[in-house]
Structure 1
Amino acid sequence: MPDILAALFPALVGFCIVSAFITYGLGAYVFAQSPSSAVNRLFLVLTFSATIWALGESLFWNSTDYDNCFLWVKAGSFWIFVVAFMVHFTLAFTDHPLAQEKKRGALLTLLYLPALLFALIGLSTDLIYTVGLLPGAGYVYLPASASPAYLAERAYVLLGLGSAAYVGIVSWQRAPAGRVRSQNRLICIGIATVIGFGVLSGEVLPALGVYIVDLTFIGVVVFSFLIAHAVRRYGLFTLSPQTAVPEIIRTMPDGLILADRNGKIVMANMSAAEVFGVGEADLPGEPVGQFIPPAACAAIGAAVAGRGRFSDLEAAPDGREGMVVSLAGASVRNPDGEPAGFVLIVRDITDRKAAETALRTANQKLSLLSQVTCHDIGNDVTGLAWYLGLLKEDRMHPDGEAYLDRSIRLAENIRKHLEFAREYQMFGVYQPDWQPLEPMIARAAGGIPHPGVEIAVRVAPVEVYADPLSPKVMHNLLENALRHGGGITRLSITTDEQADGALRVVFEDDGAGIRDDEKEKIFRCGYGKNTGFGLAFARDILSVTGITIRETGAAGRGARFEISVPAGTWRPVDGRETGPNPGE
């Protein structure tokens, strides 16, 4: 027997080196196929740790002095992590519940903490392996057979590898016939080969008093060739319709939920968790009705029971104010054809619904604008035609000069109607931008004649984030005050910062003011002495970036318009923002 072992010694050491190169190359290749796959990453860690273990084993048996042998025995204490990675890889490959993210704590406690404990005991003590000198064999590592630490480590290894083998075999038996079953079969055979050679080298031979290079690496080489064959022949670890499904589910932008017949969530992806504002691990086990309103749940149940599928069902998730989702799904049946539950696809359509609402509102406003503008222009054209008709009948009429003045004013009104319509149709077309407030007001005041009226501007040097048509708001407020203020002599524009961070811009005059029953009416389309669109238009423009306007003056003591600019939509002109930049 010693002669046979001596003859095999170079070949066995060679197996260590060969297995190191094979496992490293195979792990790198598998990882490159799909770096984002958790299974592929685990396989890389497994093969890399096996490579280090194999190199350490070869270095030990090539050492000729005690110090080097002792060094490599201590370094080899971390070989136990190969077992941990093997078990973890098997659980992940078979999609075992212990491999799910929510079970990460249990896996860490049951698998990795014991491995770390055994590694540290082996590194710092002789309670697991020691270095001995055997006649004719040289230095070997000997198990501390009577040590509780060694017995516990051996139990851990046997239990871990036995569990991996069991999980693999069960997955193999349950896998559908074809490629997936073939992949499972080859992996199971590979794991069994490694376990067989490990038991032979770690249990059988030591019991016979034979200490030689670990034969486990022969099993590792066989395992590597089986994996390579599965990769080449059956597409193991490569992107295919069969292997890509878990990755697709995990990364798809729409939320996916699998629920049983009772509406309990069995599985959900990250996108679903983001839609409902919870952690991915918090969804499984919870009822679907906890996140979707009862009416939507009832509609889903009726659709699944009736047609077996549904789509374009809109709902507002509970606890997610302002959010709208579109639901689609279908019933799921077990292999016997019996109903087993349903799959639910959840898509966040909040932005789309907001855009639809904005478009619908814009169309309604443009339609109303068209109606009112056409009506007003029609009235002005009728009046213009009447005055021109009078002038045509009698060009020397005593009131001819007055008729001509009124005709000119009517033509000017028509021009203003058309100009306003042109400006309003551009509402919301251009993106909002930062605009300096004081120059905006100064240009508006400078463009309006105001003889006898003092306009006092005392505003902070700030910029506001607003629609490009916002200067029209300033012009409109000044023009309304001068035209309808009722003999005003002073108009002031001031700013002050509020406790909530908002900036208040106040337009205040000393005229007749606005009655209480008209304070809200003046912002309605069609209400007013001219086109009736000035203040309604102003409110719409400001609302693009969340700015609001209201009238707070007292009738008989002057009008007072307060514009509230929310925090984050105004900033000092030096660029120091007071809140989040809406433009980012």
Structure 2
Amino acid sequence: MYEEWLIAIVPNLLVAAFSIEIGYLAWRDSSKPYRRYFAFMIWLISPLALVLLGEKVVDNIDIVIALCILEYVLELALLLLLLKFVTEYTETPGFANRKFMFGLFVLGAISPLLLATNSWHHLFYTKVSLTYHNGFYIFNPTYGTVVALWGIFAIGILAICQFILMASYLHAPKNDKRGFAIVSVALFFITASTIIYWFSSKDNPLLDILALGLFGGVLIVYYGVFWRNILDAPPFTIIQLLENVYDGTVLIDENGRVAYWNAAARKILVDDQGTMLPIGTWFRDQPEYELILTKDGKETFWSVKASVVTDVGKSPGTVLVLSDITKMREYENALTQVNKKLAILQSVNRHDLRNDIVALGGYLELLGQNGQKGDPRILQAKKVLARMAERIDQLKDQQGDVPIEKIWVEAQKAAWNALNQLDVSKLNINVQLEGLEVPSEQLLERIFYNLAENSVRHGKVLTRISLTYRRENDRCVITYEDDGKGIPTEKKELVFEKGYGDNTGMGLYLTREIARNTGMTIIENGTAGARFELTIPAGRWRDSGPAPVKK
């Protein structure tokens, strides 16, 4: 007899005790919503276990029915708290809001209400009785038709929770699957015991299947809380990651319906009246395209990337990622307008400068006709005018749509074109760039011109200019050298600063800027005389013959 009492009572008492302790552990740090729901849910298991125990030891049928009503009320609250805990714990957005939960409460409350008024209609129990067995009482009801409503309600919520947990487990990172697995196993244990309880004969009060199921579930959760800290480190799910992504993310199922959308997508696609924009018309054959959406009277531009989700050869849906490119389009339009204005201004200035050059050339011709034809100063002035005219023509060429980088030119030719624009007749010129080709003739020629012009202007004892190149791995290094007075060590970087120097202060500054804009670098590292090294990266140079290799 004593052993039978232990078998019948101890599981319920242990469930009650463990539930109180686990609920307290969860409540100690209740800053997170899922911990609060978990604590209340576990605490409700304690009185439920005691109620189930009371149903076995009370011999008054009216009190037993009252305990059954309390049992259903506790189970209703427990199911609702379980659903809120699972949705909060898995960071599952959306459906478990107040309106939905209130609807579930109303639906679930029908059963205890029918039980409380059963004596009027006998729809819940058609007949009840108590049977005494080994010191305990067995409640033997004959269920009515409406009891199935409670079974569908309870099993439905348990199945929804199990589905959410399993889906989160499948999508969670490997190290974060632990929490989902423990909660899912506990829930499965309780669900299985509930189903077995419903279909068992209930003829032995020592075998309380529902109490044993609760006891097993609580033990599993107890293990998870104490030994695996599942409440301290909730799993970080894919859904949680997507909810915090800046871009809108939408999952369209195989029937064209929205299966999931994150917070950013909801903000993009729903207007102030709560109407969703016609996403069904967005599908395209290409994986990436752009859309113009009008929301609240304002146009916005979006880049849409579509990826088909595949699962074992099937296509369960499509993922759309929406990125806001409105600002980028505004910047592009503003840049286009600025470029148009600059092009117009350049055309006007080029036209005016060409007219001024023609006029100045006419004056020089008149001076030559007045007996000063052989004056070297007039000849030098004509050369300057010719260079100016050439620069204007180059500006006209660069205004076209053809990218300069696509034009490959001989570095040797570019160097001589630059040198011939200066008075270098008294200098020893050594150009060894044969075979080397570099994109953008005008830019490279301009670099050579600026370097040579700097040498001629500042090299008072200048007698030699040298241009050579070598290959360093996949890069090319062009070396420009002269034997002028050189650049002091403390000024080797300053000479590239804008405004530095005793002339315009722009020559070497523009040289470095031109180099940067075409992916090149330039430094000065001379010891006797000036020495500039222009480094050209891979893909921006080529040679038609074997180039010198660095020794």
Structure number with greater Rg is 2
Q: Smaller-chain TM-score range?
A: 0.3 to 0.5
What TM-score does the superposition give when structure 1 sets the normalisation length? 0.43
What TM-score does the superposition give when structure 2 sets the normalisation length? 0.45
